[in-house]
Structure 1
Amino acid sequence: MALRRVGEWVGFEGDELSEYLATVRPIHNQALEDRKAGQAERDLRDEYFEFLNENVLSAEPVITHLRRYQTDEEVVGLFETASVPIRDTFRSQSVIDYELDEIVDFVMLLKLLERYHKMADSGIEPLENLHSLVYLTNYQLSESDSYSVTEDHGFGMLEKTGYRYTFERRDDYVWSDSLQRDLDRLVAWQLFDRELIDEPKPEWDRTYSISLGQAATLFLTRFEKRLDSFDSLLLKEWEMRQNDVIDDFATSSKVGISSHLESLDRFSNSSDGQIVLNGRAKKFTSDQDQRGIKINV
């Protein structure tokens, strides 16, 4: 999340932000590996921002990337001198504007994790299984009868409801960069907890588990009556399909979910990196001015 906030602070967005992250993340991962080898007993938690400045953000490939996009030299200088104000990039976004369609996705993700915990009595592991479960929810909706004018384009019920995330095939699972961005946000707000798995299985690619955080428990308790029964027919349909997916796969391993994905033509007929399902085409709207909803995080 810190790496993303710094990129947004520089002014990167869209493809520029994606390219920045593709440049900086391998450097970050290698720096962590190097640090583990030399200082395995030291806790990085209190020194993480300093670690990023000294070992990641000041690396030559990052500086080259900044100059390629004609970043202001004063900003580049902060990277070169390992003095990027990382903590301030979080403070400056303590109040964030979100549209109604984004808030709906956050709520449905909370309900997905809540349902999963009730069925499996645990968080979701590994991380790619969460992506696959969200994909399967959208897939079920896309296969539903909808009478949508865009039904011929393969959206089906997604024209009416369903997550806005687009998924691509990654080896034997599915992945959505936009979903991962939202998961990072929810973890940062303590709505979700993300933990590194000590003894991952060989077939796991993303060795993290995702579970509900303390803030999520408070939220779900506070709004329990409203969330248990949606007034919207669209959201009811969405939740029904999602619950079906969780009920079917809450106790499945990654191998089991991957086997099911292979049975779907959209997945099995796609090559690695190819889009297997687009997210919903239309946004939810409200009667009020759509200037956004402010959430104090």
Structure 2
Amino acid sequence: MTDRWMALRRVGEWVGFEGDELSEYLTIVRPIHNQALEDRKESHAERDLRDEYFEFLNENVLSAEPVVTHLRDHRIDEEVVGLFEAGSVPIKDTFRSQSVIDYELDEIVDFVMLLKLLDRYHEKAESGVEPLENLHSLIYLTNYQLSESDSYSVTKDHGFGMLEETGYRYTFERRDGYVWSDSLQRDLDRLVAWQLLDRELVDDPKPEWDRTYSIFLGQAANLFLTRFEKRLDSFDSLLLNEWERRQNDVIDDFATSSKVGISSHLESLDRFSDRSNGQIVLNGRAKKFTSDQSQRGIQINV
């Protein structure tokens, strides 16, 4: 029974409950779970529950009215509540140990903004970003625009512009006609592994492409966004809004551009054209995002 209680606990953690809120949630679901088990014994005494336990939880426990009401009372996002009502909570994913990752809010803000970039790109281009190097270039151009904007900080002598305090933390170097960030690529690989992003090989790649696959939002992306956008409320809204505004400008300008078109624009920028292959063209955000809350690691279930 220990594993079964753990499944209920993991679902609560996935929703975002912790501490007293998690204990309160478990206090509500446990008697519902016990009664559902008793009812099942009377009608399915001969059947083993192990192979269908998660289905049992969805149909008989998590979709129960007291559980749904409790979620709404705690202002859980309606998209998440809808999964409980429909009996379609992704229990298996929340129960797998490899689906838990620990990151600080300073890093989560990059993940959220990456997903928002891809979401807006899809709205404009009706496709994923292809080739991969175009995604690196779009994120670089977002940071470049921030670096060219006047900083609101009292320390304006660092040459970062607004990139001193907002924007991605990735550093970019020149790679022939595009830019590349190893740290960004590591994060992209992680997001793919966590199903926040998907990637697939392009059947008919262009001759000038180096990385011949497309990147787009994964099946877990929407739930991640609905949960963790709220975590950013404690950050400086001016800085986040400026970051998103610049990012949207870049997507609006280049979502339908080819790699050749983006490379041509990069060549028009002194920071790019004056650099040789392998040289840094732009450093990442200079300062960490901070909030009034503790910057302890946050457990993310995806």
Could you tell me the TM-score, scaled by structure 2's length? 0.64
Give the drift of 1:122.
Answer: 0.4
Letter in 2 for 1:205: D
Q: Where in structure 2 are the equivalents of 1:169-184 lying within 5 Å?
A: 169-184=174-189
Give the drift of 1:208.
Answer: 1.1
Aligned to 1:164: 169
Which consecutive unaligned segments of at least 5 residues does structure 2 have? 1-95
Pair 1:141 & 2:179 matched: no
**Which residue, 266, 287, 292 being the options, matches 2:297?**
292
**Which residue, 199, 209, 215 being the options, matches 2:220?**
215
Pair 1:232 & 2:237 matched: yes
Are the counterparts in 1 of residues 112 and 229 from structure 2 also a CA contact under 8 Å?
no
**Which residue, 239, 247, 256 being the options, matches 2:261?**
256
Helix, strand or coil for the counterpart of 1:295? strand
Letter in 1 for 2:161: G
- What whole-Å deviation, never above 9, does each CA across 1:136-179 have from its counterpart, x for those lacking one? 00000000011445543321101120000000000000000010
Aligned residue pairs total: 206
Cα distance in 1 for residues equivalent to 2:265 and 2:240: 25
Pair 1:108 & 2:129 matched: no
Are the counterparts in 2 of residues 96 and 296 from structure 1 also a CA contact under 8 Å?
yes
Are the counterparts in 2 of residues 150 and 156 from structure 1 also a CA contact under 8 Å?
no
Are the counterparts in 2 of residues 128 and 205 from structure 1 also a CA contact under 8 Å?
yes
Are the counterparts in 2 of residues 150 and 159 from structure 1 also a CA contact under 8 Å?
no
Aligned to 1:64: none
Give the drift of 1:217.
Answer: 3.1
Aligned to 2:204: 199
Pair 1:272 & 2:273 matched: no
Letter in 1 for 2:261: G
Aligned in 2, Cα 1:231/1:156: closer, same or farther, shift over 3 Å? closer
**Which residue, 245, 249, 257 being the options, matches 2:250?**
245
**Which residue, 102, 117, 123 being the options, matches 1:97?**
102
**Which residue, 108, 123, 129 being the options, matches 2:128?**
123
Q: Where in structure 2 are the equivalents of 1:61-100 lying within 5 Å?
A: 94-100=99-105
Aligned to 2:48: none
* Identity of matched residues, %: 90
- What whole-Å deviation, never above 9, does each CA across 1:233-257 have from its counterpart, x for those lacking one? 1100000000000000000000000
Letter in 2 for 1:187: V
Aligned in 2, Cα 1:222/1:96: closer, same or farther, shift over 3 Å? closer
- Name which one, 1 or 2, has greater alpha-carbon Rg: 2
Aligned in 2, Cα 1:193/1:225: closer, same or farther, shift over 3 Å? same
Helix, strand or coil for the counterpart of 1:194? strand
Aligned in 2, Cα 1:225/1:117: closer, same or farther, shift over 3 Å? farther
Give the drift of 1:97.
Answer: 1.7
- What whole-Å deviation, never above 9, does each CA across 1:33-85 have from its counterpart, x for those lacking one? xxxxxxxxxxxxxxxxxxxxxxxxxxxxxxxxxxxxxxxxxxxxxxxxxxxxx
Cα distance in 2 for residues equivalent to 1:192 and 1:145: 33
Which consecutive unaligned segments of at least 5 residues does structure 1 have? 1-90
Two-structure CA RMSD over aligned residues (Å): 2.3
Please identify, of 136-145 and 146-155, the stretch whose mean Cα deviation from structure 2 is larger. 146-155
